[in-house]
């Protein structure tokens, strides 16, 4: 399944270094990996797309990793209605496939 995570960043100086573990997949739940990462230009918010087996797994991983530096909202994508095209001009992910 696909899961969107919306992060409301409360402390960018803490959240972004901690968030590197999310990007790199360090400690990610089995079968979970981040596919897309969209930070706001001012660092106040980030939206990510995950491939995973469980919304709860990603919610727990984001909450434990980011702690009180971010408020994280996770939800399953309705893949019947969703659509996507590869965004031009963005670099490919360096996160390993799990």
| Tokens of residue 21, six digits | 């573990």
Are the C-beta atoms of residues 10 and 69 closer than 8 Å to each other? yes
Structure tokens at 32: 């979970």
In whole angstroms, give the CA distance from residue 34 to residue 96: 9
Instruction: Return the C-alpha torsion angle 20, 26, 32, 38, nearest 10.
Output: 10
Domains by residue range for the chain, with CATH: 2-76 (3.30.70.100)
Angle at alpha carbon of residue 31, lines to 25 and 60, rounded to 5°? 65
Tens place of pLDDT per residue across the chain (98 aa): 999 999 999 999 999 999 999 999 999 999 999 999 999 999 999 999 999 999 999 999 999 999 999 999 999 999 999 988 877 787 877 665 55
Reported pTM: 0.88
Do the Cβ atoms of 63 and 57 come closer than 8 Å?
no
């Amino acid at each position: 399944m696909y899961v969107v995570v919306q992060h409301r960043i409360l402390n960018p100086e803490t959240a972004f270094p901690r968030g590197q573990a999310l990007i790199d997949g360090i400690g990610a739940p089995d079968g979970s990996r981040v596919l897309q990462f969209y930070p706001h230009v001012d660092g106040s918010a980030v939206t990510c797309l995950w491939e995973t087996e469980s919304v709860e797994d990603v919610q727990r991983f984001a909450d434990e990793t980011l702690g009180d530096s971010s408020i994280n909202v996770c939800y399953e994508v309705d893949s019947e209605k969703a659509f996507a095209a590869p965004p031009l001009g963005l670099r490919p992910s360096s996160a390993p496939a799990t």
